[in-house]
Every structure is written in structure tokens, then in C-alpha cells.
């Protein structure tokens, strides 16, 4: 089957994540990098968004999952994102998702977790 890859680079949002005292009290920035291989089941019609997977819906699901509640670990959030995407988007066959905290350490650009899953 043919696939199409949708890519997000450094989707930036504020989330409630972490186990440290200051992380429990306020939001902090997260960056999301994600790739999704999507089954191509029909020809693309330039004037019909319904002939492709609308990446606005993928973005909305990512933002919602990252901001809906406090999560202690990046690992947990990464797994939740994969579960949600596979649950809501049956045409997604493969995911690579990286969730990173750009302010975690002063001596590196970010620290994060990356997962790859396929079905």
C-alpha cells in the first residue's frame, strides 16, 4: 500500500509536566517533533480536504493530549500521544514522535523522549 508522511517540526506549546516542585506549580514549554505514515487510499483532489488526512486534526489531537492534564513523565506523555493517534486516526500506520523540554537544562538545547510505533 502507498503511504504519505506528515511531518511536524518543533510544534511548541506549554504543558503541565514534570515531577519537580516548580514543575508541579506551573506550565513549561514543550517541543513536539512527529512523523506519521498514512495510508493513501484515494487520489488527492486539490479542492477536497477529505481526500487526505487533514494535518490540522493531527495537530489538534497532539495539542489537546499535551495540555489536558498534568503528566509526570515525558515517557508517559509520549505513550499517551501514540495511543491517542492510533485510536483516532485509523489511516496512520507508523509514528515517530519526540517530546522534548527545551528548558530542562541550561547546558543543552533540550532533553526528550522519542518513540516509534507501527501497527
| CATH assignment at residue 91 | 3.30.1130.10
User: Which residues are CB-contacts of 76 (< 8 A; sequence separation ≥ 6)?
Assistant: none
Phi and psi angles of residue 58, each rounded to the nearest 5 degrees, phi first: -60, -50
The C-alpha cell of 37 is what? 505514515
pLDDT tens per residue across span 76-108: 999 999 999 999 999 999 999 999 999 999 999
For 105, the domain range is 3-118
Counting residues of the chain whose pLDDT is more than 70, the rounded percentage is 99
- In total, how many domains does the chain have? 1
pLDDT bracket for residue 64 (50, 70, 90): very high
pLDDT at 9: 97
Q: Which candidate, 35, 44, 50, 51, places its Cα nearest to that of 94?
A: 35
Residues 39-50 pLDDT 10s = 888 777 777 777
pLDDT digits (tens, 9 = 90+) for 4-40: 999 999 999 999 999 999 889 999 999 999 999 998 8
pTM metric for this prediction: 0.92
Amino acid at each position: 500500500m502507498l503511504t504519505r508522511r506528515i511531518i511536524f517540526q518543533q510544534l511548541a506549546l506549554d504543558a503541565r509536566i514534570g515531577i519537580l516542585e516548580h514543575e508541579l506549580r506551573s506550565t513549561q514549554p514543550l517541543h513536539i517533533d512527529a512523523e506519521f505514515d498514512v495510508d493513501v487510499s484515494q487520489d488527492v483532489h486539490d479542492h477536497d480536504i477529505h481526500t487526505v488526512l487533514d494535518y490540522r486534526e493531527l495537530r489538534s489531537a497532539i495539542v489537546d493530549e499535551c495540555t489536558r492534564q498534568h503528566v509526570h513523565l515525558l515517557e508517559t506523555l509520549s505513550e499517551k500521544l501514540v495511543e491517542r493517534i492510533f485510536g483516532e486516526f485509523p489511516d496512520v500506520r507508523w509514528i515517530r514522535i519526540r517530546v522534548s523540554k527545551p528548558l530542562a537544562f541550561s547546558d543543552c538545547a533540550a532533553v526528550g523522549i522519542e518513540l516509534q510505533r507501527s501497527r
